[in-house]
Structure 1
Amino acid sequence: MKQNHEILPLIEAMMQYDQRDVVPFDVPGHKHGRGTKELVDFFGEKVMRIDVNSMKCLDNIGNPVGVIKEAQQLMADAYDADHAFFLTNGTSSGVQAMIMSACQAGDKVILPRNAHKSAINALILGGITPVYVQPEMNTRLGIAMGVTVEKIKEAIALHPDAKAVFLINPTYYGAASALKDITQLCHKHDMAVLVDEAHGAHLHFHDELPMSAMEAGADMSAVSLHKTGGSLTQSSALLLKGDIIDKDRVKTILNLTTSTSASYLLMASLDGARKILATRGEKMLTDTLELSRSARAEINEIEGLYAFSTELIDAHGVYAFDETKLSINVTGIGLTGFEVYDILRDEYNIQMELGDINNVLAIISLGDTKEALCALVSALKDISVKYKKPEFDCQVKPLKNPEVVIIPRDAFYMQKKILPLADSVGEIAGEYIMAYPPGIPVLSPGERITKEIIDYIEVLKTQKSVLTDNHDPSGEFIKVLKHNNVSSIAI
């Protein structure tokens, strides 16, 4: 029987604490904002008064036994999970906890190479070996989609000793794999199924959206409620179902990296977002889908623009599609997605989620309005006339999986040297290079550098894309491994 999702245990406890007007001799040091007038003026007195630290009446995230435990149980119930853990360091911390809970040092995990950098970080932290599967590529749009059941089956056949399979549901652009079929396949081989649902926190609450990980029978998923569920930035939840993965091990792994001073503002926002999704989510998402579908139809009437959607569903990596991802291919108006992204922001005061070589992406969620979507459609119509050039045909295609020469952890700790990027073909990367958003590495430590990869990075640089995680922000130089350390650790 479903629990009562009208209640807000953590928020109510924080309200009661605030009403008591406690005299604070604990941290935080701003003392309910009295010591920081500028912050009170900016954030408001209420926020500063409820920015508190762990105390008995408010429970402790490291070992919750009170209101945090109750709020987490409600979160688990909302998603049809057995257990839920609040995350105040984003879904990145949840992804790391999933992989490190299912795998130990030396174990293998099967995953698509278009995974977020947090998955690669988990491999470094845990000493885990990646087995990459190639996601399906849409060459027209220039992006990676989902993975097929066949590709997972092939990887399992080649690596029957793998402990887990890691999936993305949905991809940044909205493509969902056949998650239920893959989960059943993995369980037949005693492999745990871990799902990055950073962009799928809303899926569970509407039947016209792709199936959620918990509904598909996955063992764990990490959901970014702050992205599509309404909570504050950096707040997420880790969901656990079944007994393949021990919940006490999950809690132990989380406590390795979670702050002992987790933000109560972020945790309270998870409590509130859960109530909204569980009690009003279906109606709100119906309205959200209607807005997205209407805008998509109008955009597809603009010559040169293509807002792709459910027509991509086929047997090749797109089993379902999340229509709240309003992805628009702009090559038909002769511009790159990077250019359209900048024009929308600088000239129309419209902030898109991302631009890539061929596309721009708008996330349509619970807080969007008809007026906002009308402004976007109007701006795109204007841009298609004012800026149109001959159709853009990028010669750089989506990258295929690079060769993993050294496992990420070993490569991370090995000695390195610095070379010009242009002279690094054949070398082994000693650091990440990626564009953010979306935070998917173009190169990770331990991977062979090819001319195709360098060409791709050069295109990112010419488009003034924000390169992150590499030591040289300009992308002119790269850290590579010293060759005399490589041969004995190759996999």
Structure 2
Amino acid sequence: MTTAKSFSARVDQQRRKNIKKAQAEAEAGPARAEPDATPIGDAIQAFHRRGDIAFGIPAHRSGTGRMPPLAARWMGSEAFRADVTMNKGVDNRHQSWQVEPTAMQLFAQAVGADETLFSANGSTENVHVAMMAAVRPGETLVMARNGHKSAFSALVLSGAMPVYVEPDYDERWQIAHGVDPDRLERVLQEHPEAVAAMVFTPTYYGISADVRRLAEVAHGHDIPLITDDAWGLDYSFCSRLPPSALECGADLCIGSVHKSLNGLQQTSVLSKQGNRIDSTRLSLVFELEQSTSASTLLLSSIDAARREFQENGERLLGDAIDVALRIRSAIAQLPGLDLIGDEILGSAGAFAFDPTHVTIDVVGLGLTGFQAADWLREHRGIHVELSDHRRVMALITYADTDATAQRLIDAMAALAEEHAGAKPRPVDDVPSWSQLRTETVVLPRDAFLGATEILPWRQAAGRVSAEMICPYPPGIPVVAPGELLTDTIVDYLQCQAAQGVMVEGAADESLAEFRVVAS
């Protein structure tokens, strides 16, 4: 007869066996600093094998309790099982909190960094951390003006005073490339008080600046170079792609794991090398920004992505390049379409090219990129990564196959056939990069957080913007907090709004009104 006492004894005996087994596995598993280890994922599996019960968060008990039926149906139970609190299950005091640090150490070794930090809050968080680690309130940061909106948010959070360095602008394609090192040198000579430089490379269109020379210029002034290379993390894992920013000497690099590897959305890494960035300050700022409930589901996907691409990246990314080249070859034969290719190179701002960013100009079909993207989605079920006033961009990854490539080729062929004979759409009505430039007259932090007023758009020119107005994608603000609004900027933004462009950062996303610094 089974009594409560005997049942409890059997449970305790089995638990002791499970713990002993798990401890033996842990010695060779979770905190093992070998390239084929996945410390976070291994620790999650060990947690479940031990049969532990965590009387804490998450409330669903890491998949052992009732899960939301709809979410369980959409995601499966394994997603919930991987949702284990890092400091109450995955890591413990006896392992000296080594699971996540070991995973980050392995990532740093894989990309050639001295240290790497994992973020479950996306590259936006890492951009914030990088800027606040390098620049104190009121100090000068030389920053490329073609930055992602997260960098302009970081200016508000950090209290830094930006001195913008303009990127190379391609008049033919009407896009900004990277920063010319000679231009960075001139700006740094004009602003010897600058404490750091920040650039954004590769661009959304897959075009990289000469990062090696940019690093040399920054280091010649004894300041660090920060690179937001969110689109270039895969460069560390394939010799057929451009060299990584770390390889080129950048001091602090932000990379999006979900953009080019196979981490889940919101996964990002911040990698540091050298001693130009203080490690203690970096760590403290990171803790300031980091969630106290960072998702182990997301963090473990960074861990697994590193192992996958460290072992197989050359092949996986090489296959993606081959698929992209096949797509490019086929689309190049279609009437009315034009492709951005490596012929765009030739300046220090357009130094290297990533062919997996397949950017297709559609003005020859009489279309805007927005119209082409809508047609592809509605008629062919094809969603592109980016659309703008004249082109669409399809991002090709390791996940693409000949079958997905053919669907894209067929869809573009159908688009070309549907609009054959159309009169090419003029594009000279779009202001050039230089026409949209203005001056910073107020510290971004003061403009954004200080007293403001709302004005009708017709009265906004001549006032100082208190908001970041950012057509998305690509997510580069047309005007940032602290910048002077001009007639050209206001008119251009009205045209963008009229075309149905998605606008982020503005208090009134219809742009009927503007938020400006109070007079």
The two structures have a TM-score, normalised by structure 1, of: 0.95
Mean Cα displacement is larger for which, 184-193 or 205-214? 205-214
- Corresponding residue of 2:465: 429
The structure 1 residue matched to 2:356, chosen from 317, 324, 339, is 324
Deviation at 1:56, TM superposition (A): 5.1
Distance in 1 between residues matched to 2:486 and 2:332, nearest whole Å = 37
Please say if 1:228 is aligned against 2:264.
Answer: no
Partner of 1:200, secondary structure, is helix
Please say if 1:20 is aligned against 2:50.
Answer: yes
Please say if 1:265 is aligned against 2:297.
Answer: yes
- Corresponding residue of 2:342: 310
Matched pairs, number: 479
Q: More relative contact order in 1 or in 2 (CA 8 Å, sep 6+)?
A: 1
The structure 1 residue matched to 2:271, chosen from 234, 239, 256, is 239
Alignment of 1:44-59 (within 5 A): 44-55=76-87, 57-59=89-91
- Corresponding residue of 2:38: 8
Mean Cα displacement is larger for which, 289-298 or 413-422? 413-422
Partner of 2:194, secondary structure, is coil
Distance in 1 between residues matched to 2:215 and 2:467, nearest whole Å = 32
Contact 2:388 2:473 in 1 (8 A): no
Amino acid paired to 2:58: P
- Corresponding residue of 1:288: 320
Alignment of 1:18-417 (within 5 A): 18-33=48-63, 34-35=65-66, 36-55=68-87, 57-59=89-91, 65-388=97-420, 389-394=422-427, 395-400=429-434, 401-417=437-453
Distance in 1 between residues matched to 2:495 and 2:240, nearest whole Å = 37
Deviation at 1:299, TM superposition (A): 1.1
Deviation at 1:25, TM superposition (A): 1.8
Q: In the TM superposition, what whole-angstrom CA distance separates every residue of 1:357-415 from its partner, at most 9, and x where no partner exists?
A: 11111111111111111111111111112124211112113433321111101101221
Amino acid paired to 2:297: L
Contact 2:210 2:348 in 1 (8 A): no
Distance in 1 between residues matched to 2:403 and 2:496, nearest whole Å = 33
Q: In the TM superposition, what whole-angstrom CA distance separates every residue of 1:200-251 from its partner, at most 9, and x where no partner exists?
A: 1101112222221110111110100111111000011000101111212111
Distance in 1 between residues matched to 2:71 and 2:55, nearest whole Å = 19
Deviation at 1:40, TM superposition (A): 1.9
Partner of 1:250, secondary structure, is helix
**Cα distance, 1:74–1:287 mapped onto 2, change above 3 Å:** same
Which aligned runs of 4 or more in structure 1 are off by greater than 6 angstroms? none
Deviation at 1:179, TM superposition (A): 0.4
Contact 1:80 1:215 in 2 (8 A): yes
Please say if 1:446 is aligned against 2:478.
Answer: no
Contact 1:148 1:178 in 2 (8 A): yes
The two structures have a TM-score, normalised by structure 2, of: 0.90
Amino acid paired to 1:167: V
Contact 1:53 1:261 in 2 (8 A): yes
Identity of aligned residues (%): 34
Contact 2:54 2:89 in 1 (8 A): no
Q: Please, which runs of 5 or more residues in structure 2 have no aligned partner?
A: 1-32
Contact 2:126 2:254 in 1 (8 A): yes
- Corresponding residue of 1:473: 509
Mean Cα displacement is larger for which, 32-41 or 214-223? 32-41
Contact 2:84 2:90 in 1 (8 A): no
**Cα distance, 1:375–1:186 mapped onto 2, change above 3 Å:** same
Amino acid paired to 2:54: P
Contact 2:255 2:269 in 1 (8 A): yes
RMSD: 1.6
Amino acid paired to 1:397: P
Mean Cα displacement is larger for which, 104-113 or 398-407? 398-407
